[in-house]
Amino acid sequence: MQIPLLGAGRGGASDVGPAHRSAFALRSDASAQPAPLVVPAGRAMATFRLALIQLHISSIKSENVTRACSLIREAATQGAKIVSLPECFNSPYGVKYFPEYAEKIPGESTQKLSEVAKECSIYLIGGSIPEEDGGKLYNTCTVFGPDGTLLAKYRKLPPMRNLDVDLHIT
């Protein structure tokens, strides 16, 4: 007997190797059905501690990143092997803030995430940050391994409804 794991599939705008097959990389169009991953019956998954971080966000990006890194370290000292940050952890939430807070990847925020993942020897799901690439803006999630290596990058397309200005977001 084989057990399908739902929520894993192909698609999205991930551009870093096969590690893009993960729950956050699902395509949004209904016609694209994800191919389930299959785990042979009787094979137990390892036990591990997962930390989901929520934090106060200010208008000062460097303070947000410092606060996030501090909470990541705290989670790791409590035994977390996988740590996940919230969406837009380094900036106020909303597409109207993207032009001001967007950065390249790698950039200031992702460099700090890479360093803290390596320091704590954890897998780190970097929530998301506003990313600028080629004049376009994205809401991008990065994933780092225990050695600080960028394992995956997924570009979520911000919602376009109710925008007063054309922000060139794709």
β-strands 150-156, 136-144 pairing: antiparallel
Q: Report whether 72 contacts 53 (CB < 8 A).
A: yes
- What pLDDT shows up at residue 46? 76
**For residue range 4-54, what is the model confidence (pLDDT) as tens digits?**
333 333 333 433 333 333 333 333 334 444 455 555 666 666 788 999 999
Average pLDDT of the residues in 133-147: 95
The yes-or-no verdict on residue 139 having pLDDT over 50 is yes
User: In this predicted structure, what is the pLDDT of residue 128?
Assistant: 96
Report the candidate in 155, 108, 165 with the shortest Cα–Cα distance to residue 12: 155
Q: Across residues 128-145, what is the average pLDDT?
A: 95
State whether residue 144 is helix, strand or coil. Answer: strand
What are the chain's domains? Answer: 47-170 (3.60.110.10)
Q: Per the structure block, which two tokens stand in for 40?
A: 């042979």
Instruction: Report how far residue 111's alpha carbon sits from residue 156's, in angstroms, rounded to the nearest whole number.
Output: 20
Which tens digit of pLDDT belongs to each residue from 150-168?
A: 999 999 876 654 444 445 5
Higher pLDDT, residue 94 or 18: 94
Q: What is the CA radius of gyration of the chain?
A: 17
In tens, the pLDDT along 55-70 reads 999 999 999 999 999 9
pTM of the predicted model as reported, rounded to 2 decimal places: 0.70
Q: What is the pLDDT of residues 98-114, one digit of tens each?
A: 999 999 999 999 999 99
